[in-house]
Amino acid sequence: MIFADLLFLYIFIPAVAVCYALARYLDLALFSPSKHGSHFAQPQLHNPLQNGVLVIFSLLFYAWGEPIYVMLMIASVIVNYFIGLALARNHSKAVLILGLVFNIAVIGVFKYADFLVETINLLGFGIPLPKIALPIGISFFTFQTMSYLFDVYRGDAKVQRSFVNLLLYISMFPQLIAGPIVRYDTIANEINTRSISFDDIAEGSFRFLIGLGKKVILANQLSELSSQFLDGDVTALSAGSAWLGILAYTLQIYFDFSGYSDMAIGMGRCFGFHFDENFNYPYISSTITEFWRRWHISLGSFFRDYVYIPMGGNRKHQPLNIMVVWFLTGLWHGASWNFVLWGVYFGIIIMLEKYTILKVRDKIPSFILHIYSLFLIIFGWVLFYFTDFEKIGQFICSMFGGGAAGGWDYLAQNALTSNLWLIIASILCCIPFGRFIRSFYDESGTVRSAGFAAFMTAAKTVCAAALLIASTLLLIGDTNNPFLYLRF
């Protein structure tokens, strides 16, 4: 099941909301700390019913799309549960390595087996491809299990003695299949005990609607524009068409992925969880280094804290550490060499930036830095989009006027005007314009006049209702709109 789906919105969400509310009511009545004496006596018992409801719905959610692989996920959690317990007992590095090897083996077999065999076959072998179907979200949930082992090993978080609670951490449906990669120490406490205020539900639901709108209103429409130009014969494109196509994809992937993160964070908040942010207006970055602090933050920080720093960070062989991290970042995105190329491309740029731009950054006018960054980011999406290296070459050729249609043609002009409002709205949503408006709303809750508060509340409500109605309309009849990041 995916979030941008009528069945999810209008059947699954109401069902989980009603059950969760009921469970919360019963939890408060039966397991409230006040009725059991000391607050610290049985911390796990604060919300067993709520956690149970979430686990059941999460498994249902996953099994909806993966009726068989749901067993794989549960099995993986069982293994990690026992490894976690062992780690808690003796903090042994050997146990940690054993656990990591297990998790890497899982993702290796189910995500990279074909890729590995294909690569080996390039050397002249003829091993048949295993052709194992990719379980949805495996890249996300195995990274979460690894984060759990790391955090327990390092003592950043206490071991989870309740299997159901660990299963909840891994399988929680808001972030299960497309992130953000929630690290165990982020929500370890909230799994055991959490509060939910009106503010949480109001903010969470609004955040969810923003994400839904990003996906359904912006990303889905942009995908028509991008596929118009990128999915056909790229040698027939004019430079204008090629740039429009890749610009549309640049916007599409951001709204698609950050929209999903918004929905995840929003739903999490409604259930009382506070996930870390995953995006922070990445396209306003002035350097590539900054871009990667703003784009898919949960992945970047995962590699930083669990690979880069343990390898020695900037103290020992930093260039090697950087390249390893970026090789892995690329590979994480897909079992194909173009993703590796894409990762290494950014690794090299970031390394070069360390010795050049970052040192003289203040002396360069910022608009030049923005143009520089955007150019490299957009160019990166070319490497990311085409899995076929020959097509990458052809497309780059067309981008610079080497295609059959030259520099600019009627098709580009027509696509530009017939999508102009969409493009302008998308660009506006890439800059912190919304945050600016949002600040008025936040102020109105405290310092502004009551009239202004009423106006802002009305504005927010109308905005939310418009997002919901427009998204629902656009979803009708649109049965095929998977999230891009589901395949990673």
Partner 1 sequence: MRPQYEKKYKIPKPTRRKKIMNIVYLMTILLVFEAIGLMLIVFPRSEVSELEKRELAKFPEFTAETYFSGEYTEGISKWFSDTVPFRDQLMEMSYALRDLKGFSEGGSEIKLHGVGGTVQPESRPEQTSKPDIDEPVSKPAEDDTETIDSSATDTETAETIETEESGNAPIDIPDEEAPNEHDAVDIKNNGVAVVGSGADTRALMLYGGSYNVGEAYAKVINKYKEALGEGVNVYSMVIPTAVEFYSPRELDAYSASQLDNINWVIENLSDDVKAVDVYTPLSQHTSEYIYTRTDHHWAALGAYYAAQKFAEVAGVPFMDISEYEQKVVHDYVGSMYTYSDYDPNVKNNPEDFIYYVPNNVDYTATYYEYILGEDGSITGMAAPDEGSYFWRYSDGSGLAYCTYMGGDSKIVHVKTDTDNGRRLAIFKDSYGNAIPPYLFGSFEEIIVIDMRYFTYNAVDYLNENGITDVLFANNAFHAATASTVRYYENFLTQ
CA distance 488 to 481: 16
Nearer to partner 1, 92 or 407 (CB): 407
Work out whether 228 is an interface residue with partner 1 (CB under 8 A): yes
Work out whether 256 is an interface residue with partner 1 (CB under 8 A): no
| Least separation in angstroms between CB 446 and partner 1 | 6
Sign of CA dihedral 146, 147, 149, 150: positive
| Candidate ranges 43-51, 59-67, 153-161, 323-331; the one touching partner 1 (CB under 8 A) | 59-67
Name residues whose C-beta falls within 8 Å of residue 438's C-beta, 6 or more positions apart in sequence. Answer: none
Task: Give burial (CB, 10 Å; 0-12/13-18/19+) of 334.
Answer: buried
Work out whether 375 is an interface residue with partner 1 (CB under 8 A): no
Name residues whose C-beta falls within 8 Å of residue 327's C-beta, 6 or more positions apart in sequence. Answer: 340, 343, 344, 347
Pattern 304-323, binding to partner 1, x per CB under 8 A?
xx------------------
CA distance 371 to 254: 18
Work out whether 479 is an interface residue with partner 1 (CB under 8 A): yes
Contact between 253 and 381 under an 8 Å Cβ cutoff? The reply is: yes
Binding test (CB under 8 A) with partner 1, winner from 42, 92, 314, 414: 414
CA distance 206 to 69: 32
Work out whether 371 is an interface residue with partner 1 (CB under 8 A): no
| Least separation in angstroms between CB 431 and partner 1 | 17
| Least separation in angstroms between CB 421 and partner 1 | 6
Sign of CA dihedral 257, 259, 260, 265: positive
Nearer to partner 1, 83 or 222 (CB): 222
Work out whether 473 is an interface residue with partner 1 (CB under 8 A): yes
**Active site includes 370?**
no
Nearer to partner 1, 86 or 138 (CB): 138
| Least separation in angstroms between CB 390 and partner 1 | 17
Work out whether 226 is an interface residue with partner 1 (CB under 8 A): no
Dihedral angle computed from the Cα positions of residues 277, 283, 289 and 290, in that order, rounded to the nearest 10 degrees: -60
Reported as type and span, the H/E element at residue 68 is: none
| Candidate ranges 78-86, 88-96, 99-107, 407-415; the one touching partner 1 (CB under 8 A) | 407-415
Work out whether 158 is an interface residue with partner 1 (CB under 8 A): no
| Candidate ranges 18-26, 48-56, 153-161, 462-470; the one touching partner 1 (CB under 8 A) | 462-470
Tokens standing for residue 361: 């950054």
Question: Phi, psi at residue 16, to the nearest 5°?
Answer: -70, -35
DSSP string, 158-213: -----HHHHHHHHH-HHHHTT-----HHHHHHHHH-----HHHHHHHHHHHHHHHH
Binding test (CB under 8 A) with partner 1, winner from 221, 252, 289, 338: 221
Binding test (CB under 8 A) with partner 1, winner from 25, 375, 389, 410: 410
Q: 161 to 220, contacts with partner 1 by CB under 8 A?
A: 197-199, 201-202, 205-206, 209
Work out whether 472 is an interface residue with partner 1 (CB under 8 A): yes
Nearer to partner 1, 254 or 275 (CB): 275
Binding test (CB under 8 A) with partner 1, winner from 404, 427, 428, 431: 404
Dihedral angle computed from the Cα positions of residues 399, 402, 403 and 407, in that order, rounded to the nearest 10 degrees: 70
Total residues in contact with partner 1, by rule CB under 8 A: 78
Classify 98 in phi/psi space as left (phi over 0), alpha (psi -120 to 50) or beta. Answer: alpha
Nearer to partner 1, 344 or 396 (CB): 396
Work out whether 45 is an interface residue with partner 1 (CB under 8 A): no
| Least separation in angstroms between CB 68 and partner 1 | 6
Q: 3-class SS at 397?
A: helix
Catalytic site residues?
Answer: 333
